[in-house]
Amino acid sequence: MKKNGDTLKVHVTKEYFSYGAAPNEQRLESRLKLGPVTVAYETLGALNSNRDNAILICHALTGDSHVAGNYPEDSLEAPPGWWDFMVGSGKGIDTDRYFVICCNILGSCMGSTGPASINPATNKPYGLDFPMVTIGDMVNSQKQLLDYLGVRKLHSVVGGSVGGMQVLEWCVRFPSMVRSAIPIATTMRHSALAIAFNEVARQAIMADPNWNKGAYYDGSKPDTGLAVARMIGHVTYLSDEAMRRKFGRNLQNKNDFSFNFTGDFQVESYLHHQGSKFVKRFDANSVLYITKAADYFDLTDKKITEKSLHGLSGTNSKFLVISYSSDWLYPTYQAKELVQALKRTSQDVSFCEIEADCGHDAFLIQDKRLSALIGGFLHGLTGS
Amino acid sequence: MKKNGDTLKVHVTKEYFSYGAAPNEQRLESRLKLGPVTVAYETLGALNSNRDNAILICHALTGDSHVAGNYPEDSLEAPPGWWDFMVGSGKGIDTDRYFVICCNILGSCMGSTGPASINPATNKPYGLDFPMVTIGDMVNSQKQLLDYLGVRKLHSVVGGSVGGMQVLEWCVRFPSMVRSAIPIATTMRHSALAIAFNEVARQAIMADPNWNKGAYYDGSKPDTGLAVARMIGHVTYLSDEAMRRKFGRNLQNKNDFSFNFTGDFQVESYLHHQGSKFVKRFDANSVLYITKAADYFDLTDKKITEKSLHGLSGTNSKFLVISYSSDWLYPTYQAKELVQALKRTSQDVSFCEIEADCGHDAFLIQDKRLSALIGGFLHGLTGS
């Protein structure tokens, strides 16, 4: 990691690790097989000689390995990684002390193996031949990466939303490797409401004729359906309060209503913008696979996840559970259910509900309270 | 109205009233013109000699004039009208005492003039040539019907959701005709969140290639997009609690996950069912027009509505405002804002929040509390 004297930008590089070279070598929770698997990852800071100062950051639905800093080839205007306010020298997750790892999840399209990757059996993109992957499968691929990097113990595993599910799955799958865990704005079981929103988003994608049962990689992409799916998502990431504050009933054209269907209100333009921005960077099939993995997630049920919360008994990870007061996708009552379930297995759990009107996406918005909370928790572990 | 001795079914007939015979005779709030206009309506009970015992019931987004009873031609299994538990002999809205009128709103597709109606200028369905209509335009067409029926004064005007908006618009447009008003699960201004959901539903419809800019009446209909739009709607009509109670994480196939995209959870099947049921009975363009009318609705702003709440000063309608504790589309805080706004114009307002976990659609679900509340309020007026 170097600092550029002119811009003080932190430079990071996206790297790739592959395993399971033989086709279909890795068995998944679905009993289907996949291979070879590539994991795109980025690191900041340095691993100490004890190999125990690593922090794994797990990204959410459409995130990627680019958690902080800039690529050397970035233009001066290029934004840094998605959690740059949290991760860096002297920040909440302090790269002067910790070796930070963030990798793209299995099933995504940002460098790790997913439905847009080439299927070695056909030399074409997988499409729907990609096997269903679970949060557990994502965590297993992260474990392979940590083994490769020589990390023996995680000082912490941190993540929000679908990233928080990975955090919890880490704790039940590899409890002895996890010194602490920070699940943020997440749940231990995906609710009917959350499943419903995901299913409507999937239906919007699959309704697009360009989707073509997932086989669209050599033609037009299902951009229209994907944009609708993203708009649905964005409504759930915000809150009633935030939308009132940000948009209210403000019009694009202050003078009058259009009396047509092009969109009058600023909130409509915002959603259109989010939809068209998203289709440029993300693969529709990856949305299908990752939302399905989230829907299947239920740590209170061993239907597919071989390990459940009961597996935590006898371990001594420390937990910091964080929720947001206006998150209605994974509301605070679900965080409290998680806290109670953890306490029943005698875990050391701290819980904080942050008052914020920004809804589910609040953890992605710069907030000194969140940085201080996480920094203090991590520092406390080091001192103990 | 006759009673069938075998089934005790109440028989009603759908009737039609037309006005504005010359094409484009009626001026709308958009300054566009429309005509002729047909209003489909049904009545129960009898108008008294003073012509002042009428109750107008305003239906919601996808409702119709068939508020209660059965058509004579119905099969024995045919369900009665959409508010049959509320409207009938001895019920909350007692047809032995009141002359009940319910008409299909302008812009709909259940008998009144809307985008699927024949445009006399082209002899083809209007499609997007149908002019934008507002809640005020809907109320104006209802007023024409009441004039035709000889109704001078409304004992009450009652409705939920988009029907509640019509109730409020009645009060500000024709205050001297309204003795009482019962707006249920509604708002006096459509919020950014509600606009956002409506816009995503519209985008889902317009994303369907069969939509063809609204000109699909002689070909395949945009059923796929309309089904997605309806699924979005249904998520907002329910609540987190109701979905947990009704569906939780129950699977269609109890034995295992499918690991494909056909839908595993009962909540998904429910949404699919709602989507496919809806496309058989409703027109996609009508969803576009009516949701837009709801989005434009704002009684605190005179941008398009010529009358606002200030118009109520000096009138003496009595109000019963009803909200539901789990309605997150038009939450109780919005009902309270309405109550406060009405009080500022010195209206006689009663307010009741009903504790129910069923979400926005609660007013459509049989509930003795709602019947008793409305019945008591209406009876109290008669006695006073």
Kindly report, residue by residue over A128-155, the tens digit of the pLDDT: 999 999 999 999 999 999 999 999 999 9
Classify B278 as helix, strand or coil. Answer: helix
B208 backbone φψ class: left, alpha, beta (φ>0; ψ -120 to 50): beta
Place of tokens 């989005």: B295
Confidence of residue B1 (pLDDT cuts 50, 70, 90): very low
Question: H/E/C letters for each residue in B88-152?
Answer: ECCCCEECCCCEEEEECCCCCCCCCCCCCCEECCCCEECHHHCCCCCHHHHHHHHHHHHHHHCCC
Distance CA A339, CA B375 (A): 46
Q: Are B214 and B203 in contact (CB under 8 A)?
A: no
Distance CA A232, CA B200 (A): 6
pTM of the model: 0.95
Q: Would an 8 Å CB–CB cutoff place A21 in contact with chain B?
A: no
User: Mean pLDDT across the stretch B17-23?
Assistant: 90
Q: Are B142 and B158 in contact (CB under 8 A)?
A: no
Residue B347 has pLDDT above 60, yes or no: yes
Confidence of residue A209 (pLDDT cuts 50, 70, 90): very high
Window from A52-61, A323-332, B142-151, B296-305 with minimum mean pLDDT: B296-305
Tokens representing B163? 């029907």
The closest of B43, B202, B203, B218 to B116, measured between CA atoms, is: B218
- Give me the torsion for CA of B85, B88, B91, B95, rounded to 10°: 150
Question: Do A240 and B331 lie within an 8 Å CB cutoff?
Answer: yes
Classify B67 as helix, strand or coil. Answer: coil
Interface of B with A in 230-289 (CB under 8 A): 231-232, 235, 238, 240, 243-244, 246-249, 256-257, 259-261, 263-265, 267-268, 271-272, 275, 288
Tokens representing A120? 């070695």
Domain A202-286 has CATH 1.10.1740.110: yes
> What phi and psi, each to the nearest 5 degrees, are found at residue A301?
-135, 135
Place of tokens 């679905």: A30
What pLDDT digit, counting tens, does each position of B215-232 carry? 999 999 999 999 999 999
Give the nearest partner residue to B259 out of A32, A190, A271, using CB atoms: A32
A chain contacts of residue B200, beta-carbon cutoff 8 Å: 228, 231-232, 235, 271
Distance CA A371, CA A355 (A): 14
Confidence of residue A4 (pLDDT cuts 50, 70, 90): very low
Interface of B with A in 80-139 (CB under 8 A): 128, 131-132
Residue A383 has pLDDT above 90, yes or no: no
Share of chain A above pLDDT 90, in %: 88
Q: Are A334 and A191 in contact (CB under 8 A)?
A: yes
- Domain map (residue ranges) of chain A: 15-190+299-383, 202-286
Give catalytic status of residue B310 as yes or no: no
A chain contacts of residue B298, beta-carbon cutoff 8 Å: 249
Distance CA A265, CA A273 (A): 13
Catalytic one among A208, A264, A295, A327?
Answer: A327
Distance CA A58, CA A332 (A): 20
Query: DSSP readout, B307-364?
Result: --GGGGTT---EEEEEEETT-SSS-HHHHHHHHHHHHHTT-EEEEEEE--SS-GGGGG
Q: How many residues does chain B have?
A: 384
Give the nearest partner residue to A208 out of B195, B207, B295, using CB atoms: B207
Classify B15 as helix, strand or coil. Answer: strand
Q: What is the pLDDT of residue A7?
A: 52
For residue B51, give how far its alpha carbon lies from the nearest alpha carbon of chain A (Å): 37
For residue A149, give how far its alpha carbon lies from the nearest alpha carbon of chain B (Å): 31
Give the nearest partner residue to B249 out of A189, A207, A235, using CB atoms: A189
H-helix or E-strand spanning residue A323: strand A318-324
Residue B2 has pLDDT above 50, yes or no: no
The closest of B31, B60, B38 to B290, measured between CA atoms, is: B60
The closest of B44, B170, B42 to B97, measured between CA atoms, is: B44
Residue A3 has pLDDT above 80, yes or no: no
Give catalytic status of residue A161 as yes or no: yes
Distance CA A160, CA A154 (A): 17
Residue B293 has pLDDT above 70, yes or no: yes
Give the nearest partner residue to A231 out of B132, B200, B263, using CB atoms: B200
The neighbouring-strand residues paired with A125 are A118
Give catalytic status of residue A327 as yes or no: yes
Helix axis angle, B284-296 to B135-149, nearest 10°: 100
Q: How many C-beta atoms surround the C-beta of residue B340 within 10 A?
A: 11
- Burial code (b: 16+ CB inside 10 Å, e: under 16) for A341-364 equals bbeebebebbbeebebbbbbbbbb
Classify A147 as helix, strand or coil. Answer: helix
CA angle B107, B112, B115 (to 5 degrees): 40
Question: Do A228 and B249 lie within an 8 Å CB cutoff?
Answer: no
Distance CA B138, CA B346 (A): 27
Question: Do B259 and A193 lie within an 8 Å CB cutoff?
Answer: no
What amino acid occupies position A189? R
Share of chain B above pLDDT 70, in %: 94
B314 backbone φψ class: left, alpha, beta (φ>0; ψ -120 to 50): left
Q: How many C-beta atoms surround the C-beta of residue A7 within 10 A?
A: 11
- Give this complex's ipTM: 0.94
Confidence of residue A313 (pLDDT cuts 50, 70, 90): low
What pLDDT digit, counting tens, does each position of B52-98 carry? 999 999 999 999 999 999 999 999 999 999 999 999 999 999 999 99
- Burial code (b: 16+ CB inside 10 Å, e: under 16) for B133-157 equals bbbbbbbbbbbbbbeebebeebbbb
Q: What is the pLDDT of residue A6?
A: 45
Q: Superfamily for B15-189+299-383?
A: Alpha/Beta hydrolase fold, catalytic domain (3.40.50.1820)
Tell me the C-alpha to C-alpha distance, in Å, between residue B126 and each of B37, B116, B213, B231.
13, 6, 12, 26
Q: Are B117 and B20 in contact (CB under 8 A)?
A: no
Place of tokens 């002729």: B36
Distance CA A25, CA A35 (A): 5
User: Mean pLDDT across the stretch A330-354?
Assistant: 94
Window from A17-26, A195-204, B228-237 with minimum mean pLDDT: A17-26
Give the nearest partner residue to A292 out of B209, B261, B331, using CB atoms: B261
Q: What is the pLDDT of residue A255?
A: 72
Question: Do B208 and A207 lie within an 8 Å CB cutoff?
Answer: yes
What pLDDT digit, counting tens, does each position of B189-209 carry? 999 999 999 999 999 999 999
The closest of A141, A148, A149 to A107, measured between CA atoms, is: A141
Q: What is the pLDDT of residue B6?
A: 45
Q: For chain B, what is the mean pLDDT? A: 93
Question: Do B231 and A200 lie within an 8 Å CB cutoff?
Answer: yes
Q: How far apart are the first and last CA of chain B?
A: 29
Q: Would an 8 Å CB–CB cutoff place B348 in contact with chain A?
A: no
Q: Which CATH architecture has domain A15-190+299-383?
A: 3-Layer(aba) Sandwich (3.40)
